[in-house]
């Protein structure tokens, strides 16, 4: 199957899952995760009308996206991987959305860079819903205070929450927890669901899904 067919199948399944969950058409944004794929492999997705992409490494994104952006207007780039504060300047310059804010130090670095570069980047907080030691993200119990810190101390508005459920667990309870935390924190958007579980995530209220291998193939 060609990339365009796989992309259309994902789009179709998003539409059907949205309808099944009584969600309005277009309420769920597809973030096409292009990590590990080079510009050549990404161009067919852009040609098929995809504009929102996710990358998990600043360095890798920097190597391919300035050129791809120069070729096509309206690209929106999301950082979905962990961010080190020494990369904050580059991340703020390159990405439109950073989905992985998860500690005070990185929030401070992003806030400072947004002022220095006079550039606004949309922000999500990553939540470690499974409390996995190897995984990035703030603990669910610390989320409300962290969102308040970002808003009140740093003047950052947090647009959404993001999670990656443990690979070996039913994702539903993790998606439900993220939705509950978002309601409590007064945060509007939910980035949850990947190739294996994006329809489930939509049923639990995802406003964006991050789909890689179902579009680009196995990595
Ligand atoms: C790689 C990645 C995805 C996409 O995963 P697939 O299973 O290939 O769809 C989504 N979110 C994050 C944070 C990722 O790192």
The string of pLDDT tens digits covering residues 36-95 is: 999 999 999 999 999 999 999 999 999 999 999 999 999 999 999 999 999 999 999 999
- 3-state DSSP assignment of residue 105: helix
Determine contact, residues 39/62, Cβ cutoff 8 Å. Answer: no
Burial class (CB in 10 A: 0-12, 13-18, 19+), 129: buried
Q: Check whether 163 has a pLDDT greater than 90.
A: yes
In the chain, beta strands by DSSP E: 29-33, 52-55, 76-79, 97-101, 122-126, 158-162, 189-191, 208-211
Instruction: Measure 118 CA to ligand 1 centroid, in angstroms.
Output: 30
Q: Give pLDDT tens digits for 187-206.
A: 999 999 999 999 999 999 99
Structure confidence by residue, pLDDT tens digits, 170-192 = 999 999 999 999 999 999 999 99
Looking at residue 25, its pLDDT comes to: 83
Looking at ligand 1, which atom is closest to the CA of residue 210?
Answer: 10
**Element holding 108 (H helix, E strand):** helix 104-117
Does ligand 1 come within 6 angstroms of the Cβ of 42?
A: no
pTM of the model: 0.98
Alpha-carbon gap, residue 125 to 79, rounded angstroms: 12
- Tell me the Cα Rg of the chain: 17
CA of 70 to the centre of ligand 1 (A): 25
Closest CA to ligand 1's atom 6: 212
At residue 1, the pLDDT reads 77
- Does the structure show a pLDDT above 90 at 148? yes
pLDDT reading at 215 higher than 90: yes
Nearest residue (CA) to ligand 1, atom 4: 212
**What is the pLDDT at residue 181?**
98
Looking at residue 88, its pLDDT comes to 98
What's residue 113's pLDDT? 98
Mean pLDDT of the chain: 97
């Amino acid at each position: 199957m060609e990339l365009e067919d796989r992309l259309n199948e994902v789009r179709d399944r998003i539409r059907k899952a949205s309808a099944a969950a009584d969600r309005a058409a277009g309420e769920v944004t597809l973030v096409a995760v292009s990590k590990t794929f080079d510009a050549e492999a990404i161009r067919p997705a852009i040609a098929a009308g995809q504009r929102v992409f996710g990358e998990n490494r600043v360095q890798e994104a920097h190597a391919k996206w300035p050129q791809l952006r120069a070729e096509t207007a309206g690209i929106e780039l999301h950082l979905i991987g962990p961010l080190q504060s020494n990369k904050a300047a580059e991340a703020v310059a390159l990405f439109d959305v950073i989905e992985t804010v998860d500690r005070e130090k990185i929030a401070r670095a992003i806030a400072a860079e947004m002022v220095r570069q006079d550039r606004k980047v949309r922000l999500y907080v990553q939540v470690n819903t499974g409390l996995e030691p190897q995984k990035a993200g703030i603990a669910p119990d610390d989320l409300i205070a962290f969102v308040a810190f970002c808003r009140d101390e740093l003047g950052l508005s947090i647009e959404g929450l993001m999670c990656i459920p443990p690979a070996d667990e039913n994702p539903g309870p993790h998606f439900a927890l993220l939705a509950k935390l978002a309601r409590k924190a007064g945060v509007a958007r939910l980035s949850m669901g990947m190739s294996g579980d994006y329809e489930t995530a939509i049923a639990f209220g995802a406003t964006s899904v991050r789909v890689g291998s179902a579009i680009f193939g196995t990595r």
